[in-house]
Structures are given as structure tokens and as C-alpha cells.
Structure 1
Amino acid sequence: MLTVNSLERLIGIFLLMVNLLILGLSVACLWLLHSSGLMLATLLVLLLPAQLLVSLWLNKKLLCPYARILDALESMKVDDYSLQVRPVYCRGVVGRVFDEIGAFSAALRQKKRLFDAKNLLVHSLIKQLDSPVLLLDEERKLVHGNQALSRWLGKDWRLVRLSKAKSLGLVQSASGWLIADKQQARQFNIRSSFYKDETGEHQLLIFTDISHELREMQIHSWQQIVRVLSHEIKNSLTPIKSLAQTLAEFSTHQVQKDMLEVINQRSQKLTEFVGRYSQLSRQYAIHPQHIDLAGMLGSVIAMYSDITFKLQLDSTQVVADPILLEQVLINLITNARQAIAESTGEGVIKVHCHSASNSVLISLSDNGVGIQNLDNVFVPFYTTKQGGQGIGLLLSRQIIEQHGGQLTLENNADGVGAVALIRLPVGC
């Protein structure tokens, strides 16, 4: 039995058999009619080309619908639905097939429009988020990110597109995604979700900055501790101070009076010391104004004649509370000055202000001894300065954060001195 495995072959065999049949019948008729050889040759010359032309025409008409269907399917495979398939036959089964293909193509075109619109919306939302966002493909390679991711990486995310997540400092564990750097791991929590599209399975990673929430929890805990300590200390200091004053009035010995005065003064100092920490829970009344940073820095710098300042003000306009921002600058410069005093050489503080990503950045870099314990710089009560209270930097950070900004401290990359970075939103 003849095996036919293609439509083209089946049509070719059918046309060949029909042509042979017609040719055989024609020859048989001429032979029965006792026609001459010339007649037979003439018939063959006329009949064979006609049969060939008819066979080619029939072959084209029978296979043309399939060729057009194939073109339409090839376009759909590459998400191109612009090709309008014109039916070879408008009626019958072939006409219905073309109608169904046209309807299917229109439905896919509409779905692609909706998908593209959703994709555009998602990418626009990702772009506007202030938190780093990564889109990973099935091989855990970066395929999309946002501006916040570029800030976190320290370079444009497009430069590391298609890099493995591991090379970006991300580690996947049984509990989810983690940041390899321990310091950043304490700042960010990573949430992940999966979704599928026509290109495969993707994983969306969203960084959530939990440092603010952790600080609020810490401050709340410190406030509770301070509240209890303040209550107990004040309850003890009040009678001690009162007794010391009374005894000093009745005492006739100068040495005793001097000793009682010391007790009285230290009680007063301790009361003031405890009272300062009530500021940890203070919500400042922010009165933002347009500030000329050059003028403000000029008045602040005038207070420090023993320090050389180098200014690079690419942007001089800041929107903030002038009184509070000036206090923050004084606190930071004072800290830098104390660090410089512990080092050798001329004290230099570099101040750089510029705009970046809807923010104004103010950095103050010194050439002092640097920060010995970065983890504790914002911890209340903690200080390495003689006579320090341990709340100046914490209050400075609270002021900046209540402006909607950030204050960070770190040692310089070259190992000399430290840098304080203030990030304020534009039009806070």
C-alpha cells in the first residue's frame, strides 16, 4: 500500500493519475478511430502542455489556502497580529477556517494590547517607586529595575542587566531572598512574588527599607527606659537637693558648705541631663522655606575660624526649616571639628551640595580620625567625646527625617576622616 505523508505529494499523485487517464483515453479513442500517426502526435503536442498548465493551476489553488494560513501562524508566533489573512475562498469549509483564524488573530491582538498596557503601567510604577525593585527571569538574571535600584547598586542598573542575582549581592535561602552585606541586610527586607507571561516565569523582588521602623522601635524603647529612669532619678534627686540646700544654710563650716554645694550642683546637672532625653520623642514644628545654602553656610562657617572649608555648591537652593537645618549643620560640623582635633595636620571640611533623583544632597567630609564605631553613632547615651551627651547626632537625624529626608554617616573610602550625607527631598 502506498504511503502518502504530505498533501503536496497526494495532490501530485492525484493529478498525475488524472493526466495519465486523460492521455490514455485520448490515445485509445484515436486508435479505435484508426487515426493516423500524425493525428496522434498532434494530439500529444496539444494535450500535454494543456494538462501541465491545468495541473499547475489546480496545485496552486489547492495549496494556496494552507500557505496563507502558515503565514498567519508565523506572524502570530512572533506576536505580530498586523497581517490580515485574506481568504482564498469566502464560502465553504475553507472560508469558515479563514474566518476563525481572523477572529482568533483579532482576539490575540486585543489581549496583547491589554498586556502591553499592563506591562507599561507596571514598569511605570516600578520606575516611580523609591524602593529598589528587581525583575528576575527564570535563570535568576536581572531583566528590569528602577532608579532606586541604581542608587542601591551605585551605578545604572542597565549596566548590569542580565547579571546573576548572586553577583548583585543577593542570596536566596529557604526563608526567601537576603542581602549578603550584613549592614544592608539590617536596613532592607526583601519581598518576592512570582508571575508568568509569554516569555516565561519571572520573580519580582521589592526592597522594603525597615530602618525607619526599627529606629522608631528603638526610640520607643529608649523613651520608656528614659521615662522610668527620669522618674526614679528625679524622685531621688529632689529630696537630696533639698536636704543639701537646707544643710548648707545651717552649716557654719565652709568646707561642709562647699561639699554640699557640689552635691547641689551635681544634682542640678543630673536633673538637666535626664531632662535632655525627653527631646527624643519631640516632634518638631517644620516650617519649610526656600533657603540659599551658600548664605547659610557662610554664617555657620564664620563660627569656625580654625577650620578650612572647601565648598562645591552645584546646587544652592534647599527647601527646609532654616533654624532646624542650621542646627543640624552646626552639630555635624562640631562633630567633625572634634574628630579633626584628635588628628594631626590642618583641619579641612569639604562641603558638596548637588541635586540627584528629586533630592538635594549635602555632604560634609572631614579629614579627622574617622568614626570608630559606626553602629553606635545614633544610639542615645553613647558618646566618645569628653563631656558629650550622646544625643546630638540622634536629634540631627530626627530633624532631617521629619523633613522627609535621610542622614547617614560613614568613614571615607580612603580611610581618612568621615562623611555626613544629608538627603532632602525637593520641595519637602
Structure 2
Amino acid sequence: MKAHFELKLLLSSGLLLLCGLASTLAWYASPFAWLRLAILLSAGVVIGLLLRWQWRYVRQHLRRFGWQLDAIAEADFTQQLAPQFGAGEAAQLERQLQTVVQQLRAQKGRYSSQMFVIYELIDKLNSPVMIFDAQARLSYGNPAFFNLFARPWQSCKGMHASTLGLDCDKQGWRWQNPQQASQWQLRYSHFLQEGESFTLLMVLDISQALRQKELAAWQQLIRVISHEIRNTLTPISSLASSLQSKVNVARDQQALAVIAERCEHLQTFMARYADASKTLKLQCQTFDCRAMLGRVIGLLQLQAEVEMTVKTPLLYGDAALLEQVLINLLDNARFANHEVGRRGISLVVTRDANRNCIEINDSGDGFANLDNALTPFYTTRPLGQGIGLTWSRHVIEQHGGELRLRNGEQGACVSIWLPSSEEPAAAGSVVND
């Protein structure tokens, strides 16, 4: 049978009262002084023991309740008081504490589940997300952190924001480098987790949004130009073909043939660029990287010029489209080498974090103008059309990857970043380093 806190205190208090009354009566009834003294001492000992027991009994249970309250204050709901009272106010207090602990435990469980889901969602985002503690030190980052700093966030954990090129004060968060500020936009909010203050910082690639607007503008422009050119070239081509059968002078026939040929070429050119910006139907699967690269190098007859290093043998994507992209890029690298009379193309396939990288380095003079390298119709090749790189970028973005261009120590460097699995990814972006 469980104890009754108030009943025990009541009984002990009754004993104290009886002891006091008995000692008082005995005091007055005793005729001898020594007997009175003995009665007084005995009563004092009994009363002292009873008071000591009461004090220890009350303190013991107050400590139990205090321990439970401390655990609640520390958000530790794994510990819970074992009920010791069956009735009374103390028993009711025990039940109330148990109810509070159970409710708080359930709330913490729901909160932990929600936080788990939130962190899972953050990990799936293609935009870099970082969490800093109250001292502006990195506490967490998602895999897209690698896209921004070219290293996993775990290697930067505990670093101060200033080490990562970020400033934070009462005015907010901002980049130290104006060039980064022009490409990456910061969005942040503050939150509390287990009593501590944190800042969630999301980095948005505004160049990607600008690229989408630019692409939409180009598509609209191409539709208008294609329509006008087709309406103009169709009658010219038809008239040239008709006149070609009526003239007898060879020179005139040749001129009309050239007109018809160039009309057809221009129509084909416009149709190719219009197709280059359409959404592609990808047939993605895991394929052998070495086999694909071997076919491309053999097709371009670059066996003696390409030095190939493959550190990850399997890639995921549309093998046919990626093969055409590599044909374009390797052909550009060969042209850059031959233009300056050099040889040597480096092709390296690696994997970092959750992405695969195909990097192509040539031995030419590099990109003359990185800002315009991916502008449609822009080309430095005499017979180039300015579509190859634009189309290649479009294919890589459709895979949820990135196409990066930069000038190396010698020659141009083009790197393709692709997701390493079939997890869905948003359209990527282009980075000119």
C-alpha cells in the first residue's frame, strides 16, 4: 500500500502533541525534582527525534520534486518520478508532474521529428544552406555547401563566418567580396533550438535566375527571328531553284545554287538553335564512363593527344546527350591546341561529395572573353556558329548539373558537374570563374 504524505505528517504531529501533553502532566504530577528532570529529558529526546524525522521526511520528498523540476528545466524527459503516494495533495502533485513530463516528452518527440524532416529537406536543397550558432560559428551545412566553397561543410565546422567570407553585425549578413555578392544573395532568419540561438543562412544563386530570364528572352527573340527569316528565305530559295533550271550560263547557275544552299543553311542554323533551348527528354541511366570517353576520343581521332584519368568509372545521365557534349568540348579543345601549334588535352573524371566532375583542359591560349563565351552566336572560330557551348550548357542544366568555364595556367578549363545518382535535382547553373 502506497504511503500518504499528509497522513504521516499528521500522525507524527499527533505524537508530538501527545508527547508534549504527557510530559506536562507527568511534570506536574511528580513529587520529586529528579523525576521531573528525567521526564523532561525523555520528552525532549522523543520530541527531537520526531522533529528530525519530520524534517528529513519533508526534505526527502521536496528534493524528489525539485529533481523532477530540474530535469524538466533541462528538457530531460527521460527521467520521471516513481509514484510513492496513493492519496493526498502530494500524490496529486506527483500525478501532475507525471502528466507534464509526458506532455513535454510528446512535444519534444514531435519537435525532434519536425527538426529531422526539416534537416532532411535542407539536405535535398540545391541551394547552399548554413546554420551558425550565437558566436557566428558554423554548426551545420547541407551538401550544396560544396558548390559554394568547393569542400564539404564538415571540414569547416566550427569556423567563424568571417573565415568563410561573411560579415555579420546588427545590420545583418553580407559578403565580404563584392563579386560574390553580385552572384550569391543571402537570406537569413534566427531561431531557437534547445534554448540556444542559431541563424539559418540560405545562399541563392541570383545568376541562375538571371540566366533563366536571359534564356526566356533569347527564346522569344529566336522565335521572332526564325519566323521572319523563314518567311523571307522560303520564297528566295524557291525562286533561286526555279531560275536555276532556266538559265544557261554556268556562272549564273552556280550563283543561284549558292543562294539556295545558303538559304537552306541559314534555316537549318536557326532551327538548330531553337531546338537547343527546348526541354530535353532525358533517358538517364548508369553507364560506363571509360567506354563512352573511348568512343568520343576514337571518333575525333585524339588517342595520341588526350591524357585520360578516370577515378570514378560509372556516371549517371543520358549517355547519348553527354557523349555529344563531350564531342563538342573535345573538338573545341583540339581546335584551341591546333590554333597555337600545341598538343595535349587533359581529361579527368573525379567525384566530390555527391557529384561527379568531368574536367577538360587544353593547351591553347584560353578563353579570350569569359563573359561572352556562353553567349549564343558568339564564337572565335572562323566557321563556328556559337551554338556548341550554349547547347552543351543546356544539356548539363537539364541533368541538374553545372557547366563551369575558366582559364587555367595554360589553356582553357571546362568542367562538367553532374549528380552522382538518380535523385532529382533542380536545373543547374553556369559559373565563369
Structure 1 residues 52-71: Cα deviation after superposition (integer angstroms, max 9, x where no partner): 32332122123333222211
The 1:186–1:333 alpha-carbon spacing in structure 2 relative to 1, beyond 3 Å, is: farther
1:29 to 22, 27, 30: 27
**Runs of 5+ consecutive residues of structure 1 not aligned to the other structure:** 1-14
**Deviation of 1:227 (Å):** 3.2
CA distance in structure 2 between the partners assigned to 1:190 and 1:338 by the alignment = 40
1:225 aligns with 2:204: no
In the other structure, the counterpart of 1:423 is 418
1:306–1:347 CA contact under 8 A, matched in 2: no
**Deviation of 1:35 (Å):** 1.9
In the other structure, the counterpart of 2:100 is 104
The 1:234–1:50 alpha-carbon spacing in structure 2 relative to 1, beyond 3 Å, is: closer
2:77–2:104 CA contact under 8 A, matched in 1: yes
Structure 1 residues 7-54: Cα deviation after superposition (integer angstroms, max 9, x where no partner): xxxxxxxx9xx99x969x769937x855255x4665566455444323
Query: Structure 1 length normalisation: TM-score?
Result: 0.76
**Deviation of 1:380 (Å):** 0.3
1:406–1:423 CA contact under 8 A, matched in 2: yes
2:189–2:199 CA contact under 8 A, matched in 1: yes
The 1:55–1:243 alpha-carbon spacing in structure 2 relative to 1, beyond 3 Å, is: closer
In the other structure, the counterpart of 2:112 is 116
In the other structure, the counterpart of 2:69 is 73
Instruction: Give the SS at the match of 1:147.
Output: coil
**Deviation of 1:392 (Å):** 0.4
CA distance in structure 2 between the partners assigned to 1:288 and 1:96 by the alignment = 65
Question: Aligned runs of 1:8-407 on 2, under 5 Å?
Answer: 29=27, 33-37=30-34, 39=35, 42-43=38-39, 46-86=42-82, 90-138=86-134, 140-170=136-166, 188-209=184-205, 213-236=209-232, 242=239, 246=243, 270-288=266-284, 290-302=286-298, 303-305=300-302, 308-343=305-340, 346-407=342-403
CA distance in structure 2 between the partners assigned to 1:415 and 1:175 by the alignment = 43
The 1:269–1:87 alpha-carbon spacing in structure 2 relative to 1, beyond 3 Å, is: closer
CA distance in structure 2 between the partners assigned to 1:279 and 1:391 by the alignment = 11
| RMSD across aligned positions (CA) | 4.2
The 1:385–1:178 alpha-carbon spacing in structure 2 relative to 1, beyond 3 Å, is: farther
The 1:394–1:181 alpha-carbon spacing in structure 2 relative to 1, beyond 3 Å, is: farther
Range moving further from structure 2, 120-129 or 163-172: 163-172
In structure 2, give the amino acid aligned to 1:323: A
Percentage identity across paired residues of the two chains = 31
Instruction: Give the SS at the match of 1:63.
Output: helix
CA distance in structure 2 between the partners assigned to 1:44 and 1:84 by the alignment = 45
The 1:62–1:308 alpha-carbon spacing in structure 2 relative to 1, beyond 3 Å, is: same
Range moving further from structure 2, 290-299 or 196-205: 196-205
Instruction: Give the SS at the match of 1:352.
Output: strand
In structure 1, give the amino acid aligned to 2:360: L
The 1:336–1:201 alpha-carbon spacing in structure 2 relative to 1, beyond 3 Å, is: same
CA distance in structure 2 between the partners assigned to 1:173 and 1:221 by the alignment = 39
In structure 2, give the amino acid aligned to 1:152: L
